Amino acid sequence: MNSLENFHAMMDGGRPERLPFYLPTTEPVERRIVERTGRPSSEAFDTDFRGVGASYRDDDPVAWRSALEKLGVVFPPNSVVGGCGMAFVRPPVETLGDATHLTEMLHPLSGIEGVDQLARLPWPDTSDPRHYECLLRQCGEIHAAGKVASGSQECTVFEHAWYLRGMDNVFCDWVDENPVSEWLLDYFTERSVHVCRAFALAGSDLIRLGDDVGMQDRLLLSKETWRQHLKPRLKRVIDAIREASGDRKVWVQYHSDGDVTTLVEDLIEIGVDILNPVQPECMNLEAVAEQYQTRLSFSGMIGTQTTMPFGSPDDVREAVARCRRLHENGTRVIVAPTHVLEPDVPWENIAAFVEAVQARLH
């Protein structure tokens, strides 16, 4: 079986030859893989998934910085402003070493007082079909190579809104019934609707949604608040995927770090197929699988807080074997680290992971 056939065999409850897997990495880890193998990780380890992505022609970081400064936003000298106004400061290497992706996020819309100010900003028109012209070709090339086409729209609704506004301000807006955060949530919902509809129409097999709403031991907001402000918007995105895909099955994955056990029933209700990750430091994988395996699949169960950086190669192999046992008991799994591999993950653990997931099941 090629990767695409093996993925469908797993997800359709058939007999896959091996565990479908992927390996998300940070730049330093990716560089290490290229130095050792001469190829990027996806090729060196023959991972199963390949990403597709849109190209926003009218999302200009220079225009964003200028527009935000006109509203009175003052940026630090070493700040970076990106698309949709996302802004951050990269700490010096002396502070973080190779962990350069751990940036200090800025919240340029924290001082916004009304939606009239939001309307002055250069928001890209995500309904423009030209953004998505490349997707059909991308999916075709991925399928021709026998791989799974995966479209990512993680940070679906909530995260991008609070990245811009500040999480504390979003929560205060909800309490005060200030429309600023609702405007932002609506914008990013519509953006996700347009992007995910295009993913589905182009032939994506898997669409990754998500917003981090979990802490280590509980939600970071109440279930009632999530149901009021985020659940209906997430459902709107999933409904758009289903409408666009018609009779063709597109698998919808939802990502949130932390313990989101109390949301699982709601996620299934609105159409989520795959939960990512089931973080072993936060959730009981066997208990969740036993309760939901007939209605939900699971992705990313190898701990990046524990096993990958601090375990032995045998610990990594046992974590993969745990996923194998779940599959043997009827659970549909996609195996991966729970998050990106950080620079402190030993090479031996990466090699052990790849060896374990590539072993044949039968």
* pLDDT, tens only, 322-361: 999 999 999 999 999 999 999 999 999 999 999 999 999 9
State what percent of residues in the chain have pLDDT above 70: 100
Average pLDDT, the chain: 96
Is there a contact between 206 and 49 (Cβ–Cβ < 8 Å)? yes
Residues 31 and 67 in one domain: no
The answer on pLDDT for 58 being more than 90 is no
Residue after which a domain boundary falls, among 108, 123, 138: 123
Is there a contact between 106 and 184 (Cβ–Cβ < 8 Å)? no
Residues 142 and 103 in one domain: no
In a domain? residue 184: yes
The answer on pLDDT for 288 being more than 90 is yes
pLDDT value of position 310: 98
Q: What is the mean pLDDT of residues 206-226?
A: 98
Residues 181 and 255 in one domain: yes
The answer on pLDDT for 100 being more than 80 is no
pLDDT value of position 102: 83
Residues 186 and 199 in one domain: yes
In a domain? residue 259: yes
Long-range contacts of 189-194 (CB under 8 A, 24+ apart): 189/156, 189/157, 189/233, 189/236, 189/237, 190/126, 190/127, 191/126, 192/153, 192/156, 192/157, 192/237, 193/236, 193/237, 193/240, 194/126, 194/127, 194/131
Whole-structure pTM value: 0.96
Domain hosting 70: range is: 59-123
Q: What is the mean pLDDT of residues 144-151?
A: 98
Residue from 117, 205, 199 nearest 153 by CA: 199
Residues 116 and 157 in one domain: no
SS (H, E, C) the chain: CCHHHHHHHHHCCCCCCCCCECCCECHHHHHHHHHHHCCCHHHHCCCCEEEECCCCCCCCHHHHHHHHHHCCCCCCCCEEECHHHCEEECCCHHHHCCCCCCCEEECCCCCCCCHHHHCCCCCCCCCCHHHHCCHHHHHHHHHHCCCEEEEEEECCCHHHHHHHHCHHHHHHHHHHCCHHHHHHHHHHHHHHHHHHHHHHHHCCCEEEEECCCECCCCECCCHHHHHHHCHHHHHHHHHHHHHHHCCCCCEEEEECCCCCHHHHHHHHHCCCCEEECCCCCCCCHHHHHHHHCCCCEEECCECCCCHHHHCCHHHHHHHHHHHHHHHHCCCCEEECECCCECCCCCHHHHHHHHHHHCCCCC
Confidence of residue 79 (pLDDT cuts 50, 70, 90): very high
In a domain? residue 309: yes
Confidence of residue 90 (pLDDT cuts 50, 70, 90): confident
Residue 136: give its domain's CATH number. 3.20.20.210
Token pair belonging to 310: 């601090």
In a domain? residue 256: yes
Omega cis (within 30) before 28 = no
- What's the total number of domains in the chain? 2
Report how far residue 36's alpha carbon sits from residue 33's, in angstroms, rounded to the nearest whole number.
5
In a domain? residue 219: yes
Distance of CA 145 to the CA centre of its chain: 23
The answer on pLDDT for 93 being more than 80 is no
Residues 79 and 40 in one domain: no
In a domain? residue 240: yes
Residues 241 and 195 in one domain: yes
Residues 89 and 148 in one domain: no
Residues 196 and 236 in one domain: yes
Residue after which a domain boundary falls, among 123, 145, 173: 123
Residue after which a domain boundary falls, among 89, 105, 123: 123
Dihedral sign of CA atoms 17, 18, 24, 28 in order: negative
In a domain? residue 362: no
In a domain? residue 247: yes
Residues 256 and 315 in one domain: yes
Residues 240 and 101 in one domain: no
Residues 30 and 118 in one domain: no
